[in-house]
Amino acid sequence: MTAAKAFRAVAGAVPDPELPVITLDELGVLRDVRVEPPTWPDEGPRVTVELTPTYTGCPAVEAMADDIRRALTAHGAAAVTVLTVYAPPWSTDDISPRGRAKLAAAGIAPPRPRGGGPVLVPLTPMRLAPAPLPPPRCPQCGSADTELLSRFSSTACTALRRCATCREPFDHMKEH
């Protein structure tokens, strides 16, 4: 395994500070890891990490950067620079299938993938507003009969919903 792959694996395994059931790699916010060789024989390499927060102003981005610095320094990096990059912007489509499964297992309804790529030639007239999505399924019983209780929940990235079937409240990761 190359040094870049090893450091990427370490950085990617850092849990998200707001949703610790999912790693930064599974969340899709870890964009790039670059490794420069040591400048002195007795020091470790210098590592640069690029992160894209889930939204501009995300309060967890500093905690993510601190956790990455600690993990990579413990893995032998002499210096770690964490850069916040906004292009391309993060999307809920960046969450890996494994990350979606982990969110569901933790009782958080994962966002629905938007899928598809850009449409170069529109085949239908453009809508002024997106078509409403069906409500997310309950992660406890699987029912689609759910209701929105609050647009904000335990984190700014989640909304609070309740299942009308089993009556359990649950977080739903907002689609971006």
pLDDT for res 129: 62
pLDDT for res 125: 54
| Rounded-to-integer distance, Cα 158 and Cα 109, Å | 9
- Domains plus CATH for the chain? 3-84 (3.30.300.130), 134-176 (no CATH)
Query: Encoding tokens for residue 160?
Result: 């609070």
Residue-wise pLDDT tens digits, 109-152: 888 766 544 433 444 455 566 667 788 899 999 999 999 999 88
pLDDT lower than 70: segments of the chain: 113-131, 176
DSSP alpha helices (H): ranges in the chain?
A: 3-12, 24-27, 61-74, 97-105
- Look-up of token digits 């391309």: 88
> What's the predicted TM-score (pTM) here?
0.74
- Per-residue burial over 28-60, b if 16 or more Cβ lie within 10 Å, else e, is bbbbebebeeeeeeeebbbbbbebbbbeeebeb
pLDDT for res 135: 85
Query: What residues does 108 pair with on adjacent strands?
Result: 171
